[in-house]
């Protein structure tokens, strides 16, 4: 998976500086309280990236581990943990096969991580990883793009411009919908400009899968999970509809 290389990763925390990681951790904690059959004291973050959730959860007192395939994203996560004096077990690894040799009370994969697992084998392998790191009754929480909305609305070109210390960062996103593969090729082009001149730029193509509710339930069931809820992203009491682009999925590990 040739994504989140050094160039794109170096822009990541700026591009998502408005993302409400604290609110998303509030959502996770509300889900732990409502649905977990066991007290949640430890969390494994699959595809932890630069540690947006892991660092906040560790700061809130959870024992936390994070796995990611991108060395550059993990470097940023480790820097953040060191700055905050946080003890987080970060590991370089592929969520389709990594085994930490320990169990957690909850496993999360936040911000479309499961969408990067494009084939059924990839998705099933990542679900197996989640199951292997949970005791029966533990929760697996992730979010993905919702197929009905992607098909009904289609992905749109977007441009995001942000002020930087002494210039600007512009990201253009050009998506290509592959209906038969259930994926979108998301073509990112990020440029840093100073005084109108481009001083740094990077391009990446992210192939993202979108999911339909019935297949989510089937894939989870085959991997030893019961689907508890499919709701709009971060809204446990909300109703999904064909205009819900991002969904949160909450699943509970069954007996072995």
Ligand X SMILES: C[S@@+](CC[C@H](N)C(=O)[O-])C[C@H]1O[C@@H](n2cnc3c(N)ncnc32)[C@H](O)[C@@H]1O
What residues line the site for ligand X (CB under 6 A)? Answer: 1, 4, 47-49, 52-53, 67-70, 73, 94-96, 110-113, 116
Q: Are the beta carbons of 101 and 134 closer than 8 angstroms?
A: no
- Smallest separation, CB 122 to ligand X (Å): 7
- Smallest separation, CB 48 to ligand X (Å): 5
- Smallest separation, CB 45 to ligand X (Å): 7
- Smallest separation, CB 237 to ligand X (Å): 22
Nearest C-alpha neighbor of 171 from the set 200, 208, 146? 200
- Give the residue at shortest CB distance from ligand X: 49
The percent of the chain in helix, strand and coil, each rounded to the nearest 5, is 35, 40, 30
Closer CB to ligand X, residue 38 or residue 235? Answer: 235
Closer CB to ligand X, residue 24 or residue 105? Answer: 24
- Smallest separation, CB 68 to ligand X (Å): 4
Beta bridge mates, 68: 92
- Smallest separation, CB 72 to ligand X (Å): 9
Alpha-carbon 80 to chain mean position: 18
Closer CB to ligand X, residue 167 or residue 185? Answer: 185
Closer CB to ligand X, residue 89 or residue 137? Answer: 89
Alpha-carbon span 125 to 64, nearest angstrom: 22
Closer CB to ligand X, residue 112 or residue 228? Answer: 112
Q: Are the beta carbons of 210 and 240 closer than 8 angstroms?
A: no
Answer positive or negative: Cα dihedral of 230, 231, 237, 242.
negative
Nearest C-alpha neighbor of 90 from the set 104, 102, 77, 80? 77
Closer CB to ligand X, residue 23 or residue 136? Answer: 23
End-to-end CA distance of the chain: 31
């Amino acid at each position: 998976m040739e994504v989140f290389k050094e160039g794109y990763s170096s822009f990541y925390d700026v591009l998502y500086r408005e993302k409400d990681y604290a609110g998303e951790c509030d959502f996770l904690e509300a889900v732990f309280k409502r649905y977990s059959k066991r007290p949640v004291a430890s969390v494994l973050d699959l595809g932890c990236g630069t540690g947006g959730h892991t660092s906040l959860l560790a700061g809130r007192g959870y024992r936390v581990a994070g796995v990611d395939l991108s060395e550059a994203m993990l470097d940023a996560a480790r820097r953040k943990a060191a700055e905050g004096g946080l003890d987080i077990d970060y590991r370089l690894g592929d969520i389709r096969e990594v085994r930490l040799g320990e169990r957690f009370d909850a496993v999360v994969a936040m911000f479309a991580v499961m969408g990067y697992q494009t084939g059924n084998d990839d998705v099933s392998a990542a679900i197996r990883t989640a199951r292997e790191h949970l005791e029966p009754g533990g929760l697996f929480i992730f979010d993905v793009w919702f197929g009905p909305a992607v098909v009904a609305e289609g992905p749109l070109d977007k441009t995001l411009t942000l002020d930087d210390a002494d210039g600007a960062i512009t990201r253009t996103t050009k998506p290509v919908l592959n209906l038969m593969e259930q994926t979108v090729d998301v073509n990112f082009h990020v440029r840093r400009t100073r005084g109108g001149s481009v001083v740094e730029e990077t391009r990446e193509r992210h192939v993202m899968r979108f999911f339909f509710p019935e297949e989510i339930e089937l894939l989870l069931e085959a991997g030893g999970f019961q689907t508890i809820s499919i709701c709009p992203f971060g809204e446990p009491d909300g109703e999904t509809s064909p205009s819900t682009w991002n969904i949160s999925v909450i699943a509970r590990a069954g007996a072995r």
